[in-house]
Amino acid sequence: MLSTLKGIKSDIPPIWLMRQAGRYLPEYLATRAKAGSFLDLCYTPELAAEVTLQPIRRFGFDASILFSDILVVPHALGQDLTFAENHGPVLGPLPENIVFDATNFHKKLGPVYETIERIQEGLQTEGFHQTALIGFSGAPWTLACYMVDRKGSKDFAATRMMALKNRDKFTILIDLLVEAISAYLIKQIQHGAEIVQIFDSWAGVLPPSEFFKWVIEPTTRIVQNIRVSYPHIPVIGFPKGAGVLYQDYAKSTGVTAIGIDTQMPPAWVREHLQPFVIVQGNLDPFTLASGAPQLLKDVDTIISNFKDKPFIFNLGHGIDKSTPPDHVERLIAHIRRNHL
């Protein structure tokens, strides 16, 4: 994984899957039951490290990714957060005059940093010396969507209206998030993360002019902030739903690699992105969950398009909870056996 992110092509692409630690694994469900609530699981280092390591033990992925949630950032900034069972996150009102207090912020996120240390220790003591550790954060735009709309949405209308009608206030929020996310990712690196990924899950709801303002510009600043302290740490960007704007994102932000979503045609990506950025992706999670004959055909199509340059195999979004673990085993075995 790390050599690929340095631009060195591998005969077999490194493999990891977004949400690889999660509800499709029976061992995760058992650990989740011990925690009490989802947030308790995120903030209990021993348990969060355990669920991070579970898919590494089972599947031997080339990278582990910190088990946490993107919404711990607004939570650490003082916004109330709960996860309603089967209904996703619910946030309290956006605090008036919200500020970034580094001392308090990092104190609240102390359990996350401890989790990273425990994961790194577990990887070493359990013999997974070659398994990279990925830290992550949500991007400013995506976090703002949840902070303003206060829950998941198809279009995040309240956030989009605020960005258009109250631009000064929204700019202050985005600037605050750039500062907080930069500090958060740098602290993750200090505690043992070897790679960081920035998830912009709702980038695709914006038109081009707003995409440049609220996705590309803030992400560029975060990448620059990280590079001041850690110039060689790889940064993966994932602006889900960006379409042809993936190209502008990849060229402008300075990310090391770019995660591509399921809707991106591999041939287009090969022509328009791969010449200047490392690509990660983009199998359909439901194709994996189905186990249909199409699964291995799609895997072969993706790899045949991207194999001539450094490439990381992943899904185009997070693994679905309905996925049988043996489908993941079949996926990995096929890639490692057939693409030498």
So what's the pLDDT on residue 84? 79
Is the predicted pLDDT of residue 244 greater than 90, yes or no? yes
CA separation for the pair 162, 183 (Å, rounded): 25
Structural domain containing residue 326: 2-338
Percent of the chain residues past pLDDT 90, beyond the cut: 96
- At 183, which CATH number? 3.20.20.210
In tens, the pLDDT along 324-336 reads 999 999 999 999 9
Percent of the chain residues past pLDDT 70, beyond the cut: 99
So what's the pLDDT on residue 144? 98
In tens, the pLDDT along 37-65 reads 999 999 999 999 999 999 999 999 999 99
Query: What amino acid is encoded at 148 in this protein?
Result: V
So what's the pLDDT on residue 95? 93
CA separation for the pair 231, 69 (Å, rounded): 25
| pTM of the full structure | 0.97
Is the predicted pLDDT of residue 87 greater than 90, yes or no? no
Is the predicted pLDDT of residue 338 greater than 90, yes or no? no
In tens, the pLDDT along 160-187 reads 999 999 999 999 999 999 999 999 999 9
How many structural domains does the chain have?
1
Question: Based on the number of CB atoms within 10 Å of its own CB, is 275 exposed (0-12), middle (13-18) or buried (19 or more)?
Answer: exposed
CA atoms within 13 A on the CB side of 296: 13
- Measured between its terminal Cα atoms, the distance across the chain in Å is 16
Other CB atoms within a 10 A radius of the CB of residue 294 amount to 12
CA separation for the pair 170, 151 (Å, rounded): 18
Q: What's the distance, CA 145 to chain centroid?
A: 16
Is the predicted pLDDT of residue 340 greater than 60, yes or no? no
Chain mean pLDDT for the chain: 96
